[in-house]
Amino acid sequence: MDILFVEDSEESCVLFSKLLTSGGHRVVPAGGVAEALQLLNCLRFDALVSDIALPDGSGLELVAEAKKRQRFMKAVALTGLGQAEDRDRGLRAGFDEYLTKPVDLYQLCAVLD
């Protein structure tokens, strides 16, 4: 599976990228919305995994635009925003799954499959 992983924490991005790659996935990291949108213009992805609070915008805006560009992509929110209204807002924006940090790798892999 080709995954666009959008996370502003370099440590988290490296950790999850290594773990997902070891599971056979190809992971392309992005540090924010602008970089992710550039990647969506030139590469096809099976899944988007994105934080909500990003330094240059919102994962909510990103997922809406990503789904316009690559309609059949699965989208997973990976965020520290865990209130019920946050989850509802994320699902309405276009995320298929909404996971709250800290996230277990097995949980992330389960929702990606």
User: 50 forms bridges with which residues in the sheet?
Assistant: 6, 77
Averaged pLDDT of the chain: 94
- Phi/psi region, residue 111 (left: phi>0; alpha: psi -120 to 50; beta: rest), is alpha
pTM metric for this prediction? 0.94
Question: pLDDT confidence of 3, banded at 50, 70, 90?
Answer: very high
The pLDDT score that the predictor gives to residue 4 is: 98
Q: What's the count of helices (H) and strands (E) in the chain, helices before strands?
A: 5, 7
Q: Which has the closest alpha carbon to 64: 31, 40, 35, 99?
A: 40
The token duo for 101 is 């940090």
CB 62 within 8 A of CB 54: yes
Question: pLDDT confidence of 23, banded at 50, 70, 90?
Answer: confident
DSSP string for residues in 27-81: EEEESSHHHHHHHHHH---SEEEE-SEETTEEHHHHHHHHHHHSTT-EEEEEES-
Question: pLDDT confidence of 2, banded at 50, 70, 90?
Answer: very high
pLDDT (tens digit per residue) in 62-112: 999 999 999 999 999 999 899 999 999 999 999 999 999 888 888 888 898
User: 58 forms bridges with which residues in the sheet?
Assistant: 53
Domains and CATH numbers, the chain: 2-107 (3.40.50.2300)
Stretch 38-45: mean pLDDT = 97
